[in-house]
Amino acid sequence: MAISIEMGLKGLHSRAEAIDQERLLDNALDPYAFVKDAYLQHMDYKVYDGDMPVNQENDELLDEYLDELD
């Protein structure tokens, strides 16, 4: 009985932590692409132990895009 209560509380806690993340998913234009990109970013983070290499090409493209918006 105590094990099932503990598992229930852990499940409830996990569900409560996911509520904020649901808002991100609800606001995404394409929820599938959002989750896929988040997963891939998380896996890259784990592969590089949190020390992600900087991709200068992407930074330059972002700067060009932001300059166009101004």
- pTM listed for this prediction: 0.52
Domain count, the chain: 1
pLDDT for 28 beyond 80: yes
Its domain, for residue 26, covers 2-69
Taking residues 10-34, report their average pLDDT: 89
DSSP string, 9-51: HHHHHHHHHHHHHHHHHHH-SSHHHHHHHHHHHHHHHHHTTT-
Mean pLDDT over the full length of the chain: 84
Taking residues 22-40, report their average pLDDT: 90
Confidence bin at 55 (pLDDT 50/70/90): low
Q: pLDDT at position 46, please?
A: 92
Confidence bin at 33 (pLDDT 50/70/90): very high
